[in-house]
Structure 1
Amino acid sequence: MERPLPDLYADAVGEQRELLWRRLERVWAAANAGDRPALRDLAEEILDQIKRADDLTIGNFEPHIGDILTELDAVYDVGFPASRPDDITDILTTPWPSARRKARLAAYLGVDVRHRLQLDELAERAVAAADVRLLRLLVLSPLGTLRRETVAQVLNALHQSDAVDTLYDAMDDAVVERAFANDPYLGKAIAGPPPLPCADAVRDHVDELTWRLVNASPSTGWDALPKAPAPRGLRFVQVALSWQGDRHVSDHLGVADLTDAERAALLDLLRDLPDEDRRRAFDWRLRAGDADALLPLFGLEGATSLFHLIQAMPSDEVVRQDRAAFLAAIEEAGEDAAGRLLRLVPNELASAVTGSNRAQVLKRVKNNALQGLAAFGMLPLAPDETVLDRYLVLRESAKKGLKLGPNRRHSHAAAVSVALDHLAQVAGFPDASRLEWDCEARIATGTTTEARVGDYSIALRFEGAEPVMTVSRAGKALKSVPSAVRTDPAYKELRESQKLLQDQARRMRTGLLERLVATSAPLVPDELTRLLSLPVGAAMLPGLLWQDEAGAIGLLDQVDTSGPVTAVHPFDLHERRELDDWQAEIARRRLTQPVKQVFRELYYVTPEEREAGDVSHRFAGRTVDGKVAGQLLAGRGWFTHGEYDSYQATRAAGGDLIAALRCDFRGFFGMGEVHVGEIRFLTGGRRAPGRYGAPTGSGGAPIPLVDVPPVAFSEVMRDLDLIVSVAGTEQTPSTPNQFDDPIP
């Protein structure tokens, strides 16, 4: 049943229907004359009009032209009859996707005609068979659909055919133009990386198509142009400078690829043009990546080094920058030229090196802006500011970042880490680690731990891993704090000290010790000494088990600390058959370990997982609350991805290994329920560009579970067990743990 037509689009639909009726009359005339070429051209015109009219009316055109489509179907079914239902080339040889022809294609494919008629399998077979006629038809026919990557492979196969048979142009203008008319961004799949062998040949066709379209009358709109790859040649930039139509078109032409000679010619051309045209051209060449060639237009030849440093900075990622390199480039350019360049090419971090944007950076830090945090670390210290002051601001920002969304908290933490590195450069420390230990030591040594208020004594001491404050009178500890003490400034100062030490203890526990145990990471003597110099370190480190260079395992006072010591993972204790003994010893001593170590959950590969090879279904089928699960995953270093990615949650698992979890959900992770799927470990996986080291949702090649380092396997499974246990929305049986499948 035809859906109601909103009044807003009634006039537009009426006008477009009238145009379509006129084209239908021409179709009948061409059919009566037996003019097949005219019928093909008209079919393209009509399909293009329907698409544009449907876009214009937000999908309200095609539902109201059923009567016209029925007549068109009848004409084209007669003009291009399909007589062989078992011959795919006969089915595809039509310029019009009539209902009858669609039904025949659906029958050939063995699918319901109401479903998408996907032709990718046909294309793969045609590529393998080098069937040039079918390959061309798959692109030219209006029937069915092909994925972008498949069309790219089809064009590549046609290009390879041209290399063999030079008498027949298989990949001609018609095929390339139709391919790009169907998908203006097709060039992205062809350009790679790595680029397909046909890339240059396709660009030749696309350049000529683009040139023809921009010189057509009336002028071409943005929708008609291929969007990728960029055109090649100075002629396109010249057209952009004089373009009076859609600005999207001039912006696309302005970034055309140029040779060195063309860049020099463009510089000469722009010298005689108004400043507005120079700025437009400069902006285009910024996007093209060669704007340095135009710096002489603005008297900035001496600022080339600073410009290159700015351009080398990724726009969507916070990464460490070398302050000394920026200072040298600013000095080379001169203060005036550096300022003019930064007005031409604004850059928050480069401006922060000079301190010229301090007010803006401070405001951005308050709003948790990632680039603002990195710039904050790079600001010169103000006259009334100490290194510790800024360190504490960054630590406070890191604390706030824990309350952000699952993925945002990772990017925020990465930005704080970069800011600390920048602050280390400003303060003259060799690295951020040295800055951190120095500031943490200042916090500890500068913290008041004792005070007297009249007859009362107040003391701040560590009990285990926590700073605890006690109030006593005449040597007797009080159970509550008297009001006279609570209102005294000395007590309030100690409370602030307690909060500082509590934050320090939290950072030590969750940021360092948990990582050391989870990864069996070592500490060299210098690092260990620095940690033990802190009250929180002296309170926590002796409660863990360590292994020294000789292989001896024990508490800190039982191993040789003159060399590196490694936080012991319970897997190693289990392998040495010492886990039970150490569990008993820790219990006997009544030690409270700062993080789970000897009583840490262990997970091994089960017989079913060994048989499955590279995939585990241990937690598959569980349903969890997406919001809770996302927060828990984020707290353990996981990144979540979209529902259409290959994997919906990933995290680094050591080396180039990535743990990759599949899930099913609607919308995004955290929007509602999430159905947990299988888990794999990928090696050779990429890190997503511009996403702060986040493993991608695609990853690399899966490896057999038995080849995954046991500690990495156990820690990943521990994460997931926690997720399904805490965030689960249904009762589930217990998961295999350390006692279900011990390693022989």
Structure 2
Amino acid sequence: MVDVPGMYADAVREERDALWLLVDEAGGLAKAGDLAGLRDLANRVRRRLATGDSIERTGGHLGGNMADISAALDDVYDEAFPVRNPDDPAEVLDGPWPTARRAAMLASAVDRVGWRKPPLEPLAERAIADDDVRLLRLLVLTPLGRAGRETVVRILDALHVAGALDVEVIEKAFADDAYLGRAIGGGSPAEGATTSASAGSAVASASACCAPVVRDYFDALAWRLTSPAEPDWDELPEVLVPRGLRFVLRALDRPHDRRMAQRFGPAELTDDERSALVDHLRDRTAEQRRYAFELRLPAGDAEVLLPVLGLPGAEPLLRLVLATAATEAGRQDRADILAAARRAGDDGARRLLGLCPSEVISAALGWNRAAVEKRVKRNALSGIAAFGLLPLADGETVLDRHLALREVAGRGPKLGPNRRHSHAAAVAVALDHLAQVAGLPDADRLEWDCEARVVTETPGDWHIGDYTVGVRLADADPVLTVSRAGRALKSVPAAVRTDPRYAHAREHQERLRDQARRMRGGMIERLVATGGTLNPDELHRLRRLPAGQAMLPALIWQDRTGTVGLLDQIDLDGPVTAAHPFLLYERRLLAHWQAEIVRLLIQQPVKQAFRELYLLTPAERDTVDVSRRFAGHTVDGRVAGQLLSGRGWSTHDRYDAYQATRPVTAGLTAALACELHGYFGGGDVVVGELRFLAAGSAVPLAEVPPVAFSEVIRDLDLVVSAAGAEPHG
């Protein structure tokens, strides 16, 4: 034996001895000319190998010690099932044991010489095109070669159309691939229903044409295998969902069988069967009714059981519970939740949420405040979203909650590159929820109102002995001042530092400073980067903030008449648009405004007039829908990932179609292909091709909005320059 650890040596010897007995039996069957017996024995050998080579039995060391046994079996089966015409693929495939000789013939037939398990796709295409039923059956039944899941389903479809799909073929197909149901489809739990069972029960939404026959087979097999007291689950194919009330009742009668609940609880029912289930439950115990409700949650029709649970009127609330479970931190409508809870009644709502808990709905009703606050501290996304929906506690203001969420948002940049995106999205949802609690139309209005309150709640001057202390706003920068007899002091005296009001003033100073940072890095940057527009009311609200009053006049705008200028030079009675440098370039005003910004000594809060501008190159026009501007540059993956993440990109692993993506406009995504080791941060990354995708398809670069194109290229230029731009190769 070769390389067998001592702990497995005895088990490998025992398995080899048992297999040699089967080889001897094969020799006897061959001498007797019993071909049917040889076919059955081949299946027995495969089953023995599967169990004997398991980790539990031999640690997987049997397969490496099978050369002599395989050679002996090859000799027996090659002699008993000779191939007289190697050019006939059906004859090559029609053998019960995958001998080396047959494998070589098959490899030659599909132009894969040297492959031990060559692909069967070329033969499948030929058989489907020719309606060759014999070859189609053999492609499934043969132990030779390999066929992909989609190919097997196409073969089954072709046999079904030909009226030649039988149990033997279906059984072999599922024996080779227990998850074949993913491609066959035909029945699944209702969309939006989520429990632990749903993951194992979901199937493809589109059904193959062979699905009805396959599902008849599956239903019969499922019923037969689970009839004994000890069901044989290992023989039951995965994924597919059985049909019929009998399966639900079997699961209901075996409440301690977890797999029975997962596989049979969500069985597909007709409307009549649902009514029959309700009638059946009327005479059952309350515990059995609750269990039936749990069984039907993955199927999406559990609401029909609410009346027998004593929960009439709770249907809308249950729908909301199931809908909220579909997303980890999705936006919810507070008014809908409150209305559904009122219809269910306080007791009914509590009982329903006891049956199927929902963190966010319980939060909207104010029933889980302590648990939600604890999960927010752990940065749980659904907890953050739920935090926004909690009713205001006694003494708590909207501003208090808003500032608390800003503190949560501040933890995001410390998380991983992709996690920080989902964290920021959860905070955005929480702010939207808080706007609903505050009775405001949206999160933007909440933002403006809270930012205005930060300013209005700044404490005024107070006096400590001879000293006057206050917070002054120098443009957007808050400055804490201490004066004595009208003269500003350069340092803060101890008498002031120890006064409790001094710490309060410093806190408000920091809030105003944070406001300026948020406006500069958030709204102002976004306005310029997208060429965003403000209506008069929005502009008025922003200019009421010290940061807005300082920053907005330093930007270049275009009004509704097309006039370009500073705020005091344009019409403010209509919407105004922040001028992206592309707009200035297109209007031949870019050089003029660059000179004006310098002449007027204006310090812009973000890059605008001197913002890097990237236009489509002739090479990119020639390649139509792909940019190779940075292809071949090698960058430090860790640094590149951080830079991309900070600019709204999500990074993916090497197996995704694209390794970095960013939404740029509604329905349009920038997608960058890269060569990397596993993931960003795992080493160097070679930048590849850039495309813009709409509905999954590449859009011609000439059709990409120029502002969006420029900003994406600007991101990548920064990454290549800051993360180390060395040409690859």
Q: Flag whether TM exceeds 0.5 (same fold).
A: yes
SS at 1:287 equivalent: coil
Q: 1:727 aligns with which of 720, 723, 727?
A: 723
Residue 548 of structure 1, CA deviation: 0.8
- Counterpart for residue 188 of structure 1: 182
Residue type of the alignment partner of 1:140: L
- What is residue 504 of structure 1 aligned with on the other side? 515
Distance across 2 between alignment mates of 1:23 and 1:210: 31
Q: CA 1:219/1:467 → structure 2, altered by over 3 Å: closer, same or farther?
A: same
Distance 1:373 1:238, change over 3 A: same
Aligned residues: 708
Q: Which moved more, 1:485-494 or 1:563-572?
A: 485-494
Letter in 1 for 2:535: V
Which residue number in structure 1 is paired with residue 40 of structure 2?
41
Deviations 1:533-576 (A, max 9, x none): 11111111111111111111111221111111111111111111
Q: Distance in 1 between matches of 2:356 and 2:564?
A: 57
- Give the one of 340, 353, 361 matched to 2:364: 353
Q: Which runs of 5+ in 1 are unaligned?
A: 163-168, 685-699, 734-744
How much has 1:263 moved relative to structure 2? 1.8
**Which letter does structure 2 place at the counterpart of 1:178?**
K
2-structure distance, mates of 1:63, 1:652: 50
CA contact (8 A) 2:12 2:62 kept: yes
SS, match of residue 258 in structure 1: coil
Match of residue 64 from structure 2: 63
**CA–CA distance in structure 2, aligned partners of residues 467 and 647 of structure 1:** 44
Q: Which amino acid aligns with 2:305?
A: L
Counterpart pick for 2:626 among 615, 632, 643: 615
Distance between the aligned counterparts of 2:591 and 2:89, measured in 1?
Answer: 69
Label 1:17 to 1:221 Cα distance change in 2 as closer, same or farther (>3 A).
farther
**Contact kept in structure 2, 1:222 and 1:246, CA below 8 Å:** no
Partner SS, residue 221 of structure 2: helix
Tell me if 1:97 matches 2:98.
Answer: yes
Q: What is the distance in 2 between the residues matched to 1:336 and 1:67?
A: 72
Distance 2:482 2:260 in 1: 75
Instruction: Report how far residue 283 of structure 1 moved.
Output: 2.0
Contact 1:629 1:727 in 2 (8 A): yes
Matching residue's letter, 2:718 = L
3-state SS of paired residue (2:665): coil
- Within 5 A, what are the aligned runs for 1:483-632? 485-632=496-643
RMSD: 2.8
8 Å contact kept, 2:632–2:687: yes
Instruction: Give the CA deviation at 1:306.
Output: 1.5
Find the residue that maps to 2:77 and give its secondary structure. helix
1:273 CA drift (Å):
4.6
Deviation at 1:523, TM superposition (A): 0.8
The corresponding residue for 1:165 is none
SS in 1 for 2:325: coil
Match of 1:688 in 2: none
Cα distance change, pair 131–441 in 1 and its aligned pair in 2 (3 A)? farther
- The corresponding residue for 1:661 is 672
Q: Which string of whole-angstrom CA distances, capped at 9 and with x for unpartnered residues, describes residues 717-739 of structure 1?
A: 111122222223x5349xxxxxx
| Among candidates 299, 307, 315, match of residue 304 of structure 1 | 315
Q: Which residue of 1 aligns with 2:266?
A: 255
SS in 2 for 1:402: helix
Task: Summarize the Cα distance change of 1:602–1:51 in structure 2 as closer, same or farther, 3 Å threshold.
Answer: farther
CA contact (8 A) 2:317 2:341 kept: yes
Tell me what 2:297 maps to.
Answer: 286
1:30 matched residue in structure 2: 29
Determine the C-alpha separation between the residues in 1 that align with 2:122 and 2:572.
63
Match of 1:341 among 339, 343, 352: 352
Pairwise CA distance, 1:665: 2.4
What secondary structure is seen at the aligned counterpart in 2 of 1:227?
coil
CA distance in 2, matches of 1:706, 1:631: 29
- Partner Cα distance (1:630, 1:15) in 2: 53
How far apart are residue 610 of structure 1 and its match? 2.0
- Say if 2:4 is the partner of 1:4: yes
Q: Does structure 2 conserve the Cα–Cα contact (< 8 Å) formed by 1:664 and 1:676?
A: yes
In the alignment, what sits opposite 2:221?
209
Deviations 1:356-393 (A, max 9, x none): 21111111111111111122111111112111111111
Q: Does 1:198 align with 2:210?
A: yes
| Counterpart residue type for residue 437 of structure 1 | W
Query: Secondary structure of the residue that 1:651 maps to in structure 2?
Result: strand
CA contact (8 A) 2:659 2:671 kept: yes
Tell me the TM-score normalized by structure 2.
0.90
Q: 1:448, CA displacement in angstroms?
A: 3.1
The 1:115/1:23 distance shift into structure 2, 3 A limit, reads closer
For 1:284 and 1:39, the matched residues in 2 are separated by 45
Local SS of the residue matching 1:301? coil
Alpha-carbon spacing, 1:280–1:650, altered in 2? closer, same or farther (3 Å): same
C-alpha spacing 1:583/1:297, structure 2 compared with 1 (3 Å): same
Q: 1:646 to 1:42 in 2, by over 3 A?
A: farther
Whole-angstrom distance in 2 between the partners of 1:300 and 1:523:
49
Q: 1:475 to 1:622 in 2, by over 3 A?
A: farther
AA aligned opposite 1:3:
D
TM-score with structure 1 setting the length: 0.88
Contact 1:95-1:142 within 8 A present in 2 as well:
yes
State the Cα deviation string for residues 176-222 of structure 1 (Å, max 9, x = none).
2222222222222233444333333432333233334334x695533
Q: 1:17 to 1:474 in 2, by over 3 A?
A: farther
Residue identity over aligned pairs, in percent, reads 57
State the AA in 2 paired with 1:623: T
Would you say the 8 A contact 1:234–1:258 is kept in 2?
A: yes
Q: Structure 2, unaligned stretches of length 5 or more?
A: 186-203
Counterpart selection for 1:714 from 710, 714, 723: 710
Residue 480 (structure 1) shift = 5.3
d(CA) in 2 for partners of 1:47, 1:316: 44
Partner of 2:452: 441
Aligned partners of 1:78, 1:505: CA distance in 2, in Å? 86
Which amino acid letter does the alignment assign opposite residue 202 of structure 1? Answer: V
